[in-house]
Amino acid sequence: MLIGALASFAVFVSIESRVPEPLIPLRILTDRTTVLAIVASLGVGTSMFGTNVYLGQYFQYGLGFSPTVAGLLGLPMMGGIVVASTLAGNAITRRGTWKEFVLGGVILMTVGYALMWSIGATTPVWVTMVLLLLAGLGLGASNQNLILAVQNSVGLANMGAATSTISFFRTLFGAVGIQILGLVYGISVEREVAASLGEEYAQQIAGNSSSLNLAALEPAIQSAVRAAYADAIGPTFLVVAVMGLAGSIAVFFMRPTTLRDTVDVAPAPNR
């Protein structure tokens, strides 16, 4: 699949560089702000799409909550996103600049997930919810405003292509990030189970995580497996924090711009 993806990308670049009206003008991908925004989207996309997936396993398998309650426990993060995106959006509209809000948001998100490294089986639920709120506030301040930064760095003729490009890469990195987090979480669970129950049992648990019925296990084994799923979430969030750190560095080097207040007219493409 990787070879096929690289070959497809080569064909894509070859065609887009020759046609008069490319689907994605390659000059967009050479713009400094756009490239750095794509890098920042790695952490933002993974945070937005990936963390809720494994938070569900943490709350259900690790702490024993029902699926409904596990979903509700993720509300602080969603609430933080709504509040921060609203406040940051209004502030950017008034001030006309975006970089300080995007940079502050990505840093806040990174700090929130870095602190989640300490989460485990004995962590009070309210602590986890506070850290989720912190990460949600950072995500809300940076997520959509990364797109705003790109929109104000390209001409109006390319705004649609630039917007869809950054949105595509954010979704793509989110999908890739889910797989990376799943790999880290699976390895961590297997290691924790192996330490308490043995290697053979660890492989069996790790291979059936999607259909695992903890209620069918013996009490002693069930307790060990729950502890493994709870303690394994810390390294998973640490990966998100590392991606967020890379995003923070990328945003730091983005060229600050002000919100567009003029209309530019690009020359007609060659036909």
In the chain, what are the domains? 31-251 (1.20.1250.20)
Per-residue pLDDT of 51-89, as tens digits, reads 878 888 889 888 888 889 988 998 999 999 999 999 999
Per-residue pLDDT of 208-225, as tens digits, reads 555 666 766 677 777 888
Query: Looking up tokens 């709504």, which residue turns up?
Result: 82
Query: Looking up tokens 């560095």, which residue turns up?
Result: 249
Phi, psi of 97 (to 5 degrees): -130, 155
Residue 229's Cβ-side half-sphere holds a number of Cα atoms within 13 Å equal to 24
> Lowest mean pLDDT: which of 124-128, 148-152, 245-249?
148-152
Query: pTM of the predicted model, to two decimals?
Result: 0.83
Query: Looking up tokens 């390319």, which residue turns up?
Result: 158
Q: What is the pLDDT of residue 271?
A: 45
